[in-house]
């Protein structure tokens, strides 16, 4: 594919890695960067693979509704889920039987974005810090 477009979305969320043998077992947060990459062989009549605004609008709305300023948890993390249930304003997103690692987040967002953007979706990256990311490819 000769063309690749990239859109970046920043959001804040908390998580922890259940049964992790280190400090990531403690609830903590990050300012995450999500990168959505679209590929195409040709351009539309306006000279675009896909309008950046359309990509960003769809994915940002989903992230805002589900992840931004929320807590991402392993669905098996009963202790944390119960603790968060005591906070009326808490937004909780459960990953089915897996820790909410950058890798799992990239795979989850890829699945969501694929449903919105179709087969032109090439990859999703989740940056957990300015020096490390995980990527899920088609």
Distance, in Å, from the CA atom of 16 to the CA atom of 73, rounded to the nearest integer, reads: 7
CATH homologous superfamily of 3-137 equals 6-pyruvoyl tetrahydropterin synthase/QueD (3.30.479.10)
| C-beta neighbour count of 102 within 10 angstroms | 20
The residues pairing with 29 across neighbouring beta strands, listed in sequence order, are: 14
**pTM of structure:** 0.96
pLDDT in tens, 64-112: 999 999 999 999 999 999 999 999 999 999 999 999 999 999 999 999 9
DSSP 128: E
In three-state form (DSSP H/G/I as H, E/B as E, the rest C), the secondary structure along 2-59 is CEEEEEEEEEEEEECCCCCCCHHHCCEEEEEEEEEEEEECCCCCCCCCCCHHHHHHHH
Instruction: Give 54's pLDDT tier (boundaries 50, 70, 90).
Output: very high
């Amino acid at each position: 594919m000769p063309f690749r477009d990239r859109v970046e979305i920043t959001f804040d969320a908390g998580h922890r890695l259940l049964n992790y043998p280190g400090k990531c077992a403690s609830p903590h947060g990050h300012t995450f960067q999500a990168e959505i990459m679209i590929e195409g062989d040709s351009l539309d009549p306006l000279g675009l693979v896909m309008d950046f605004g359309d990509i960003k609008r769809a994915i940002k709305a989903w992230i805002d509704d589900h992840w931004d300023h929320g807590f991402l948890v392993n669905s098996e993390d009963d202790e944390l889920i119960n603790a968060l249930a005591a906070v009326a304003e808490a937004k909780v997103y459960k990953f089915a039987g897996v820790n909410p690692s950058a890798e799992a987040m990239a795979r989850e967002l890829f699945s969501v974005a694929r449903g919105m953007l179709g087969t032109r979706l090439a990859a999703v990256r989740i940056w957990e810090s300015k020096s490390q990311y995980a990527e899920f490819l088609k």
